[in-house]
Amino acid sequence: MIPASFDYHSPQTLEEALTFLQSHSDDAKVLSGGQSLLPLLKLRLGSAGHLVDIGRIPGLEYIKEEGGVLKIGGRTRESALEHSELIQTKYPLLAQTAAVIADPLVRNMATVGGNLAHGDPANDHPATMLALRAEVVATGPSGTRTIPIDQFFLGLFSTALAADEILTEIRIPVPPAHSGGSYVKLERKVGDFATAASAVQLTLGAGGEVASVGIGLTNAGSTPLRAADAEQFLTGKQPSADVIAEAARRASAIATPSADRRGAIEYKRQMARVLTGRALKAAIDWAKEH
Amino acid sequence: MAQHQIKVKINGTDHKAEVESRLLLVHLLRETLSMTGTHIGCDTTHCGACTVLLDGVPVKSCTVLAVQADGREVKTVEGLEQDGRLHAIQNGFHQEHGLQCGFCTPGMMITSSALLASNPDPSEAQIRQAISGNLCRCTGYVNIIKSVQHAAAALRQPAEVAAK
Amino acid sequence: MATTTLRTSPEVCGMGHSMKRKEDPRFIRGQGHYVDDIKLPGMLHMDIVRSPYAHAKILAIHTEKALAIPGVLAVITGETLKTYGLHWMPTLMSDTQMVLPVEKVMYQSQEVAAVIATDRYIAADGVDAVEVEYEPLPVVVDPRKALEPGAPVLRTDKEGKKDNHIWHWETGDRAATEKAFAEAEVKVKQDIYIPRIHVASIETCGCVADFNKTDTHLTVYMTTQAPHAIRTVIALVAGHVGLSEEKIRVVSPDLGGGFGGKVPVYPGYVIAIAASVVIGKPIKWVEDRMENLQADSFARDYHMTAELAAKKDGTMTALRITTLADHGYADAAANPSKYPAGLFSICTGSYDIKTAFTEMDAAYTNKPPGGVAYRCSFRVTEAVHAIERVTDVLAQELKMDPAELRFKNFIRPDQFPYKSALGWEYDSGNYKAALEMAMAGVGYAELRKEQAEKRAKGELMGIGICSFTEIVGAGPSREFDILGIKMFDSAEIRIHPTGKAIARFGTKSQGQGHETTYAQIVAEELGIPAAHIQVEEGDTDTAPYGLGTYASRSTPTAGAAAAVAARKIRDKAKKIAAYLLEVSEDDLVWEVGKFSVKGAPQKSKTIQELAFAAYTNHPPGMEAGLEAVDYYDPPNLTFPFGSYICVVDIDRGTGEVKVRRFLAIDDCGNIINPMIVDGQIHGGLSMGLAPALFEEISYDESGNNSAGSFMDYLVPTAMETPSWETGKTVTPCPHHPLGAKGVGESATVGAPPAIVNAVVDALAHLGVRHIEIPMTPEKVWNILKEKGVAE
């Protein structure tokens, strides 16, 4: 319950933070919301000689649409996403994802940047960002770079972020009309990681066919998984019940979950199918109404 | 390892302390400042017995460092009562038997008081959702919900009277 | 709906009033006084090094690195305690268990060493720095395997012990039962496993041990539900190191939940006491949640086979239950000493089953000891789960509605007091009325109709019934003792000159509201307003001797003692009244709060006036004062009962079970405080829902606990918990002074079978007849898949 000792720094500017990270790259961790990092340190499962708290750096929490892109600051709290009217009305996938991360108290501290940067496939935002075809902006000592989400998650607890980079912004294309999204998560109880979860974002074409779709799976492998085969199958088709069921089946076929107390491999895979089907239906219903 | 000088405003009063980096906010409250109303019930950020308001927002103080609270405001259960008057939520818990052993109660009341500040007329479903980060073993939650509803009604009353 | 008649005004607030709780003011202000809130001058902190192995020899314990940390003062090992003869201690069941091991560890997370430091952060660092060398030994986790010939013998400390068998217990008529089964027209048999669970009260266990070297006085503030028993145990176990019972004070302050988990004597307490005796400073030890879940007081872990014999018309003729009990590495179950299986023999339940036999074998395994906790009422949860499940299995076999089968077999009101086939005399009951009320309350007939309609559409909906009889109030001294101490309980009441009172008890509330309910009992008997009656428990220096609060025993024992003591006071007050009013006692009549002269009601004395007179104007020859003590020896146990109905819907895609409705009709006899009783039931129902759907402690073959934190030990939140509905019938207890029975565990006993019966009912048409708890979505989904109805 009590962490081992570490040094704590709370820089006032991004520059200061990055300089420190650069010089202590092998022993420093970024403290954002702390709701993934501090529990690990308390159990002495992870260690860090230095924590760099980016919580005092202004200008990292925002939700705004600009030039056809939804821009979310890396330190934006999950509760802010959950309660944002813009997110609730235009980005249902994101709102529904934020609403099922941990519990309401954790969401008051936890940040979307932290949720992604932790590189845990059991976290909820990674699959959602895959479905949204997001981009991650990483800021380092030599400037910013934009990382497409499909190149961001490298492995278990491993992302494309360098040790001296901070995730400062997430960019999501503003969806066109007749778009919808849904995040369906099966959890053993509120606050748990997903037994399985599916993130769907899609746009319907003029004829009601699926013009474009993104499907991401949570906790189904060592990284979040894009159900590319299912996406391809769906694109251009009328979303009948059979089509949805087949897409869901194809999505689950790529799942490689681990067996644990949440379920055996086969159960989790089948749940990926069931939940993808439900997420697709909900996203389509939304798209039809908006 | 360096010590940090921090200043935290707790229940309206400034407190200064010299703390290790790793000191958890809940221990700053309970050990350093002997404010034992905030409780510890787990080690994995699940139970919510440690809930306090940090700049008006309910958080689990076992998963916040004391240094993170430097220069900020904290409200604990000890700060609910003002000038000898119980907060409506405290009275609600008493009237509706929302507590039995009392251990989860401070956290429950802090979370609920924050809920009512932003949602003065929450439905049962909204109350359940708001307290889903606070575990109780004794009450089965039924009377906790009634307690929050009691407090909500009491807080709405002056405005309702004025509206007549 | 029956309610207890109110005989006192709201001002006096006796029985039946929903008095707001007198203990609330401190709790709602965050001024509760729990063990971890205690700070004494010079206090040190203790933290415990624990074994990662379930079974291993200890080769060496290296303490140098830990001792080198500034602020670490000592590291205590089994060798240290051995020099004081304290490395082993007796359990409450007269087995032995380790305080700290010298030779080997026998469960994962067993205490191996204790670090004493100046603050808890340094103590944690100290624990991290202690290095222990282990040599793993073969692990036994399956109790069946533990009893196979050739299994590794775990208790090598017991001379001559060649197996892992602890005891065999049986009761009933084996031969008659065999005959009844042989002749049965219908019989059913069902294996039922109830896994380990953990009370997980929000406050964990801990103590502050404070030994004063000058006057050799030990004070221990401890999370204990039974402070007097603990004091006596300490005196017996540690008498040889200079502790003497008159100089031991155990204080149980405010407790953040108990549920049976704060009854046992944990090694941490003993180590802290030993450390304080040696060092002469207060030592605080408070376990963290993972230690709590992994090392102390589990509950259940019964492997049962239940059989019912019946006639074709559904009349039950015989019951047989065979059980294998997994006790962990020591028998530390907190049962009355003559009852190693607790009150399991209540398993004939609410039914008039004339022939029955049950036997049980207990086994040692490489797991923590315990067994009696989690509101089990001394193994009644297990017993009722068995009878209520096998009753539904019989109903399914006979194609009979489960309510109809129950009505057919209920013990009738005119049969009370009822002698059960396994030897209990049930005091009173009206099982038919409770089930009828439950069925009316949920609209049973309409629900069955709805179920039929849904079934036709392929939707899965279930209705489950549980009609339980509980058995509480241990107990009569001829039968009930713990370590030889008889299970009476006590009340000591003293009335002050100004007519107020203090009442102290041998029980210990952990949230049950005794400061309110006991005051209401005294108010009922004496007419002194409950608000004027100060109730105290938990300090062995001042409270009369008692066996504590668990197994729903407080109202039946100490509550009765309160009434009897109050009546002794009333008897003396009557004498004072007779003296003051110059009449004989026979001329006096009592109504709440005063004695008046028959036929001349204006000539009266209030209890307050009589109290004042007891100190200022008492009759010559009479002792001054107005007080009484009663040590109440109950003539029998009491038998609360109820009928619960649960309605569930099953998600065919995920296997999730949603409890749509749950109505609990309870009968606990005359009710002291309806608000508090309902609170107990809400909480008990939630602790019935939890094991039914969510909670389980399980071990792999190496003895690794896979639910050792709240990450995987799933305590339900407000989102998983349904909105509980409650109702009451009132069938008073004929032998209790107040007609009350006790209720704290009824709901934990009755809820799980109701929920299982509902889920099985939802799937019965597919041929399902039993599901083991917890009924996780995966478990249910596997059944749906197997039956071809998964989405």
Tell me the pLDDT of chain B averaged across its residues: 95
All residues of chain B having their beta carbon less than 8 Å from the beta carbon of residue C510 are: 101
Beta-carbon contacts of residue C64 (< 8 Å; ≥ 6 apart): none
| The pLDDT value given to residue C298 | 92
All residues of chain A having their beta carbon less than 8 Å from the beta carbon of residue B65 are: 8, 31, 34, 38, 51
All residues of chain B having their beta carbon less than 8 Å from the beta carbon of residue A114 are: none
Segments in C658-745 forming alpha helices (H):
674-693
What pLDDT digit, counting tens, does each position of C317-370 carry? 999 999 999 999 999 999 999 999 999 999 999 999 999 999 999 999 999 999
Out of B65, B111, B133, closest to residue A191 by CB: B133
Instruction: Provide mean pLDDT across the span C417-426.
Output: 98
CA dist C68 → C113, C133, C263 (Å): 16, 19, 36
The DSSP bridge partners found for residue A170 are: A72, A136
Residue B19's pLDDT band (cuts 50, 70, 90): very high
What pLDDT digit, counting tens, does each position of C206-221 carry? 999 999 999 999 999 9
Residue B142, pLDDT > 70, answer yes
The DSSP bridge partners found for residue A196 are: A186
All residues of chain A having their beta carbon less than 8 Å from the beta carbon of residue B119 are: none
All residues of chain C having their beta carbon less than 8 Å from the beta carbon of residue B133 are: 717
Interface of B with C in 57-96 (CB under 8 A): 76-78, 80-81, 86, 90, 93-95
Whether C375 is a known active-site residue: answer yes
CA separation for the pair A19, A23 (Å, rounded) = 6
Contact: B63, A2; criterion CB under 8 Å = no
Out of B4, B22, B63, closest to residue A35 by CB: B63
What pLDDT digit, counting tens, does each position of A26-56 carry? 899 999 999 999 999 999 998 899 999 999 9
Residue B159's pLDDT band (cuts 50, 70, 90): low
| The pLDDT value given to residue C238 | 87
The shares of helix, strand and coil residues in chain C, as percent rounded to the nearest 5, are: 30, 25, 40
Tell me the pLDDT of chain C averaged across its residues: 97
Is residue C258 within 8 A of residue C34, CB to CB? The reply is no
| The pLDDT value given to residue B162 | 44
CA separation for the pair B43, C710 (Å, rounded) = 8
Out of B21, B60, B111, closest to residue A8 by CB: B21
Q: Which residue among the candidates C231, C300, C320, C375 is catalytic per the annotation?
A: C375
Strands (E), B1-152: 3-10, 13-20, 51-54, 57-60, 73-75
DSSP string, C379-404: THHHHHHHHHHHHHHHHHHHT--HHH
CA dist C555 → A146, C120, C123, C470, C638 (Å): 69, 39, 42, 14, 10
CA dist C410 → A290, C377, C662 (Å): 60, 22, 22
Out of A7, A55, A191, closest to residue B68 by CB: A55
| CB neighbour burial string for A36-69, b if at least 16 within 10 angstroms, e if fewer | bbbbbbbbeebebebbbbbbebeebbebeeeeee
Residue of C120, C121, C654 for testing the chain A interface, max A β-carbons within 10 Å: C654
Instruction: Provide mean pLDDT across the span C742-763.
Output: 98
| The pLDDT value given to residue C3 | 57
What pLDDT digit, counting tens, does each position of A215-242 carry? 999 999 999 999 999 999 999 999 999 9
Q: Tell whether C59 lies on the interface with B, counting CB pairs under 8 A.
A: no
Size of interface B-C (CB pairs under 8 A): 177
3-state secondary structure C18-59: CCCCCCHHHHHCCCCCEHHHCCCCCCEEEEEEECCCCCEEEE
Angle, alpha carbons C648-C654-C658 (nearest 5°): 20
Beta-carbon contacts of residue B56 (< 8 Å; ≥ 6 apart): B73, B75, B114, B117
Nearest-CA residue of chain A relative to B64? Answer: A34
DSSP 8-class letter at C530: G
**In this predicted model, which residue has the larger pLDDT, A95 or C92?**
A95
Contact: B137, C513; criterion CB under 8 Å = no
Specify the 3-state DSSP secondary structure of B93: helix
Residue B164, pLDDT > 50, answer no
Is residue A86 within 8 A of residue A107, CB to CB? The reply is no
Residue B2, pLDDT > 90, answer no
Rg over alpha carbons for chain A, rounded to the nearest Å, is 19
CA separation for the pair C767, C319 (Å, rounded) = 24
Q: Give which of A14, A12, A31 is closest to A22, Cα–Cα.
A: A14
Residue B157's pLDDT band (cuts 50, 70, 90): confident
The DSSP bridge partners found for residue C304 are: C192, C323
CA dist C750 → A150, C191, C684, C769, C771 (Å): 52, 19, 9, 19, 17
Residue C603, pLDDT > 80, answer yes
| Partner chains of A (3+ C-beta pairs under 8 Å) | B, C
What pLDDT digit, counting tens, does each position of C268-312 carry? 999 999 999 999 999 999 999 999 999 998 999 999 999 999 999
| The pLDDT value given to residue C240 | 86
Q: Could you tell me the sign of the dihedral formed by the alpha carbons of C759, C760, C766, C772, in that order?
A: positive
Residue C4's pLDDT band (cuts 50, 70, 90): low
Instruction: Provide mean pLDDT across the span C12-20.
Output: 98
All residues of chain A having their beta carbon less than 8 Å from the beta carbon of residue B136 are: none
What pLDDT digit, counting tens, does each position of C429-456 carry? 999 999 999 999 999 999 999 999 999 9
Question: What residue type is assigned to position C69 of the chain?
Answer: I
Q: How many CB atoms lie within 10 A of CB A206?
A: 7
| The pLDDT value given to residue C239 | 86
Share of chain C above pLDDT 70, in %: 99
CA separation for the pair A259, A265 (Å, rounded) = 5
Whether C178 is a known active-site residue: answer no
What pLDDT digit, counting tens, does each position of C502-560 carry? 999 999 999 999 999 999 999 999 999 999 999 999 999 999 999 999 999 999 999 99
Contact: A104, B67; criterion CB under 8 Å = no
What is the helix (H) or strand (E) element at residue C180, kind and residue range? helix C174-182
Residue B163, pLDDT > 60, answer no
Out of C202, C675, C682, closest to residue B104 by CB: C202
Residue C15, pLDDT > 60, answer yes
Beta-carbon contacts of residue C782 (< 8 Å; ≥ 6 apart): A267, C655
Specify the 3-state DSSP secondary structure of C772: coil
Instruction: Provide mean pLDDT across the span C63-69.
Output: 98
Q: Greatest CA separation found in chain A? A: 61
| The pLDDT value given to residue A46 | 83
| The pLDDT value given to residue B1 | 62
Q: How far is CA C425 from the centre of its chain?
A: 21
Phi-psi region of C242 (alpha: psi -120 to 50; beta: other; left: phi over 0): left
Strand-by-strand arrangement of the C588-591 sheet: C588-591, C594-597, C600-606
Is residue C296 within 8 A of residue C369, CB to CB? The reply is no
Q: Which residue among the candidates C13, C205, C347, C376 is catalytic per the annotation?
A: C376
Question: What residue type is assigned to position C536 of the chain?
Answer: E
CA separation for the pair C380, C341 (Å, rounded) = 10
